[in-house]
Chains A and B, each alone.
Chain A
């Protein structure tokens, strides 16, 4: 057992572990986790523990990587409630699309995925925000207060973005430089649970 290659192979394991810990992007970290699983299986097999190596390869590399992928995908998501008729617009230049594009760049900076959920009217949108179906709502101001829409269109900020998660609100407040929207923080019904 005192062969020199064993030391080199065992030294690969902390190398892969350090590589895993310095990753920032969660998806990259998942791939590195697979690499760590492969190296760990090799180390266990070289040290003579065949059963541990088999378990590491099957559970550590296959099962947990897939489960983590599903978990990361479903948790790192920003659900945005919008009105249904605004999704129907096809003009790429409209302020709504500008706003969504801005949100997308901010989200990709924090590895967040955007999910647009359409709602039929402003009332149901507001209820969805309060009942925690969505994290953020984007709504045109003219739908909210029943003012003359032409007057609002000439105003500077035609959209109103309501956020119910405090951390998300902090991020958006520092990063969102879009002239199209105002930003407010809304406390949902049960404010004890945050994100």
Chain B
């Protein structure tokens, strides 16, 4: 299981690097969406690894609510580019 988590961290580093080097805001938003879903899946994996279901519940809540914030931000940025 440790190896799985290390591989997940490596996969998480790719969108972080992408968000750092790309200047276009929509590419950054894409990287942000990728990071948001990846981190919440990682939280779920860690909770299964430890057998701690408090963390698991938090992971599911972040997975389902964090994306709503992302959509809100996308719409605000869209309005920003229009004006």
Contact = CB atoms under 8 A, between A and B. Distances in A.
Establish whether A and B are touching in the complex (CB under 8 Å): yes
A5 B39 contact: no
16 contacts: A4-B6, A5-B2, A8-B9, A12-B13, A15-B16, A28-B23, A31-B28, A34-B32, A35-B16, A38-B32, A50-B55, A61-B36, A63-B69, A66-B73, A73-B80, A113-B83
Contact of B16 (A8, A16, A70, A73): A16
Given A8-B9, A12-B16, A48-B52, A38 B39 contact: yes
B13 to A, nearest CB: 8
Interface in A70-124: 70, 73, 113, 115
A115 to B, nearest CB: 8
Interface string A165-194: 000000000000000000000000000000
Interface class of chain B by DSSP = helix
A5 B35 contact: no
Interface stretch (A39-47, A132-140, A145-153, A155-163): A39-47
Contacts of A125: none
A141 to B, nearest CB: 29
Interface in B14-51: 16, 19-20, 23, 25, 28-29, 31-32, 35-36, 39-40, 42-43, 46-47
Interface string B65-83: 1101110110011011001
Interface of B: 2, 5-6, 9, 12-13, 16, 19-20, 23, 25, 28-29, 31-32, 35-36, 39-40, 42-43, 46-47, 52, 54-55, 57-59, 61-62, 65-66, 68-70, 72-73, 76-77, 79-80, 83
A60 B66 CA distance: 10
B11 to A, nearest CB: 12
A87 to B, nearest CB: 16
